Structure 1
Amino acid sequence: MEKKKNKAAATAADRSHSAAGSAKDRVGRLDPYGFERMEDFDYDSYEELMSEYLAVLTRRSIKWSKLLKGKGKVQRNVKLKRYVRKGIPNEHRALIWMAASGAQDQLEKNPGYYQSLLGAQHDPKLVETICTDLNRTFPDNIQFRKTSNPCLQKALYNVLLAYGHHNPTVGYCQGMNFIAGYLLIITKDEEKSFWLMDALLGRILPDYYSPAMLGLKTDQEVLGELLKIKVPSVWQTMVDQNVMWTLVVSRWFICLYIDVLPVETVLRIWDCMFYEGSKILFRVALTLIHHNQAPIQQAQSLPDVCQIFKQITHGPFVDECHTFMQKIFSEPGSLSMATLTKLRATCRSRIIAEES
């Protein structure tokens, strides 16, 4: 029995090491997802952090393997939600994201649909807009370079093109390329990435990427209303310095924290977002702001506020993704969908009235 346990732990550890990169890669130039590290990257702190996090990954991997038992299907329930909050091992991410978001159901209900979109006649303007952004998508990631084999640029182009034809109201707008890119890094599958885009943009984040971006504008205002209740001192600072929320948090929301927070932390946020929906974006924003309310309150000007909001997305607090994810479910306190729905209705009406 002990041998079996040891073997399971060893296998899980191998998988975790694979997900987090080999020891050589971890101290190398590239992170496990193909992103180049900054020149001032602190390898010593990273090694210390990873040695602790790998132990967490190993434990989680064993538990996930027992839960899934080799099955390709999962049912949403309280246990799965708890597991998702504690992190999905990389080898199971695509499966769980697809199942939790409803993307798998859509894929199965629409066989051949993705290929039919690629085979249809393409809108030249859509093609041109997407092509303009291809080289700008993760230039610091080796998988998106033309010299790479395989190169994810072609897959990225296909996913964005198919989605543009699938949802002509949205078509394509900046920010979508980064989301599709992240999905491809994890799923390594165009069709799955397409249906996950559909789940995100169509159901989880409606109107974020439509021409008027009403959903995005609304949620930025909702964050302001939540802070007025939960961290009034920060809300007052923003009023005093005449800072609009869109100036400091629009990138957080439109890029779903890509290029804002560390990759591993973003993926943990996405684990929960695919399962629990858009309220996770608010939990992250509230935690970042609540945890850093002291420096924000000391801001003396608009540039000060902007600088502090950049700084709070770096450092040990966000690097330690496991602890950070525990914090997002405790620091902001309760946040029900009923509260969000009510605030969204109020803010949406206000924005429409102001813009009309």
Structure 2
Amino acid sequence: MKRRSELYMENHFNDQSTECSASSDDCQRVDQYGFERSEDFNYESYEDLMSKHLAVVTRRSKKWSKLLEGTEKVEKNVKVKRYVRKGVPFENRTQIWMAASGAQDQLERNPGYYYSILKAEHDPKIEEVIRADMHRTFPDNIQFRASSQPCLQKALFNVLLAYGHHNKDVGYCQGMNFIAGYLLIITKDEEKSFWLMDALLGKILPDYYTSTMLGLKMDQEVLGELVRMKVPAVWQVMNRHDVMWTLVVSRWFICLYVDILPVETVLRIWDCLFYEGSKILFRVALTLIRHNQNLISQAQSLPEICECFKQITHGEYVEDCHTFMQKIFMEPGGLSTATVTKLRKMCRNRISSAQNPSSH
């Protein structure tokens, strides 16, 4: 017999969710996004969490319907920011992401552009590296299997191929496949996923995926500085054992928490990422580190520190997406854009100096 939360999910996400043509038992092993649940998945705990979660989702959905009534536009104001932080309903997510990020404007200004790239001649090297990553992208998601109908692998290949030719400074690098995959799971639309990729990689996170990955390296250094200021006990243990931040948080940043945190939590983070920008990535990282500072501070070696950073992305604290999202705007305290900008400039100069010592 199906749990009431699962029945609600089927009805609530009927238009865009993964259809399961297998047996009822098989369907219960797959979440609404197509991800298989682990063998030790705790259905009782999930049922308890979902009953609370769905009550919030239902409330938010009504508020969003009223806010968006008769409009495609999304204003940038305090009220909408509050709404986004409290969660965007599944059925409105594509619209909000597209509008808030500027991707919708780009799509409308460039009609047919995405498909024209796909029809053009392609760089065989880019094709080759993308194809190599296809089978590595969400092997635990039934939508990305060749046997599924429809299969998102072809759409994923197209989005990555088009983006690789659209942004030649980036081309393709590992990590982008997970981002494009998540976008397709939500939008079910290649062209929209392409323009959302462009908003993320071109505007919100510039230099993250270029050949030097300067933006990525810089933000990892910025996180280190923020930890030094806000969670000194963790900074001290990292310093004592000479652990580079890139060793423990690079996947957090490069995958934008995909495959790191639970799906629903990642999507809530992305709601804010598309609306508010990249600062949200620091808030998430600082909250995870600050909440688990006692555990990390007790680590006695580099391997123990690495294991701690794996542990802190699992468990009830991150699974309860509503509470977790409340925490990320409270636990790290103030985090102004001016502070982040100043730290980014300092860290960028530090990295450039280390790479080109003769020029300074």
Q: For the superposition of Structure 1 and Structure 2, which TM-score range results when normalised by the shorter chain? A: over 0.9
Matches of 2:303 and 2:11 in 1, distance apart? 47
Question: What corresponds to 2:205 in structure 1?
Answer: 205
Q: 1:241 to 1:31 in 2, by over 3 A?
A: same
TM-aligned CA deviation for residue 16 of structure 1: 6.5
Q: 1:20 to 1:289 in 2, by over 3 A?
A: farther
TM-aligned CA deviation for residue 88 of structure 1: 0.4
Please, what is the CA RMSD of the aligned residues?
Answer: 1.9
Structure 1: tracts of 5 or more residues without a match: 1-10
Question: What corresponds to 2:4 in structure 1?
Answer: none
Identity of aligned residues (%): 72
Task: Give 3-state SS (helix, strand or coil) of 1:259's partner.
Answer: coil
Assess if the C-alpha contact under 8 Å between 2:158 and 2:190 holds in 1.
yes
Question: What corresponds to 2:250 in structure 1?
Answer: 250
Assess if the C-alpha contact under 8 Å between 1:225 and 1:343 holds in 2.
yes
Question: What corresponds to 1:165 in structure 2?
Answer: 165
TM-aligned CA deviation for residue 15 of structure 1: 2.6
Assess if the C-alpha contact under 8 Å between 2:97 and 2:275 holds in 1.
yes
Question: What corresponds to 1:151 in structure 2?
Answer: 151
Question: What corresponds to 1:30 in structure 2?
Answer: 30
Give runs of aligned pairs for residues 11-22 of structure 1, distance below 5 A: 14-15=11-12
Matching of residue 65 in structure 1 with residue 65 in structure 2: yes
Matches of 1:278 and 1:208 in 2, distance apart? 11
Assess if the C-alpha contact under 8 Å between 2:159 and 2:191 holds in 1.
yes
TM-aligned CA deviation for residue 73 of structure 1: 2.5
Residue-by-residue CA offset, 1:267-303 (whole Å, 9 max, x unaligned): 0000000000000000000000000000000000000
TM-aligned CA deviation for residue 77 of structure 1: 1.7
Question: What corresponds to 2:216 in structure 1?
Answer: 216
Matching of residue 181 in structure 1 with residue 178 in structure 2: no
Matches of 2:341 and 2:106 in 1, distance apart? 26
Q: 1:118 to 1:18 in 2, by over 3 A?
A: closer
Q: 1:219 to 1:197 in 2, by over 3 A?
A: same
Task: Give 3-state SS (helix, strand or coil) of 2:100's partner.
Answer: helix
TM-aligned CA deviation for residue 28 of structure 1: 1.2
TM-aligned CA deviation for residue 40 of structure 1: 1.2
Matches of 1:40 and 1:204 in 2, distance apart? 37
Q: 1:16 to 1:139 in 2, by over 3 A?
A: closer
Paired AA for residue 291 in structure 1:
H
Give runs of aligned pairs for residues 1-356 of structure 1, distance below 5 A: 14-15=11-12, 28-356=28-356
Matches of 1:191 and 1:155 in 2, distance apart? 10
Matches of 1:74 and 1:349 in 2, distance apart? 36
Matches of 1:25 and 1:259 in 2, distance apart? 24
Q: Count matched residues.
A: 345
Matches of 1:21 and 1:330 in 2, distance apart? 34
Matches of 1:208 and 1:200 in 2, distance apart? 10
Assess if the C-alpha contact under 8 Å between 1:27 and 1:43 holds in 2.
no
Matches of 1:243 and 1:341 in 2, distance apart? 24
TM-aligned CA deviation for residue 72 of structure 1: 2.5
TM-aligned CA deviation for residue 75 of structure 1: 2.0
TM-score normalised according to structure 2 size: 0.93
Residue-by-residue CA offset, 1:185-211 (whole Å, 9 max, x unaligned): 000000000000000000100000000
Matches of 1:124 and 1:244 in 2, distance apart? 36
Question: What corresponds to 1:6 in structure 2?
Answer: none
TM-aligned CA deviation for residue 135 of structure 1: 1.1
Matches of 2:142 and 2:260 in 1, distance apart? 19
Q: 1:246 to 1:69 in 2, by over 3 A?
A: same
Paired AA for residue 162 in structure 2:
A
TM-aligned CA deviation for residue 355 of structure 1: 1.3
TM-aligned CA deviation for residue 13 of structure 1: 11
Task: Give 3-state SS (helix, strand or coil) of 2:210's partner.
Answer: coil
Q: 1:19 to 1:118 in 2, by over 3 A?
A: closer
Matches of 1:31 and 1:192 in 2, distance apart? 23
TM-score normalised according to structure 1 size: 0.94
TM-aligned CA deviation for residue 12 of structure 1: 11
Q: 1:38 to 1:70 in 2, by over 3 A?
A: farther
Assess if the C-alpha contact under 8 Å between 2:9 and 2:32 holds in 1.
no
Question: What corresponds to 2:5 in structure 1?
Answer: none
Matches of 1:19 and 1:290 in 2, distance apart? 36
Task: Give 3-state SS (helix, strand or coil) of 2:169's partner.
Answer: coil
Paired AA for residue 253 in structure 1:
F
Task: Give 3-state SS (helix, strand or coil) of 2:28's partner.
Answer: coil
Residue-by-residue CA offset, 1:75-108 (whole Å, 9 max, x unaligned): 2222111100000000000000000000001111
Assess if the C-alpha contact under 8 Å between 2:18 and 2:34 holds in 1.
no
Greater CA deviation, 72-81 or 323-332? 72-81
Matches of 1:45 and 1:291 in 2, distance apart? 22
Runs of 4+ with >4 A deviation: 11-14, 16-22, 24-27
Task: Give 3-state SS (helix, strand or coil) of 2:258's partner.
Answer: coil
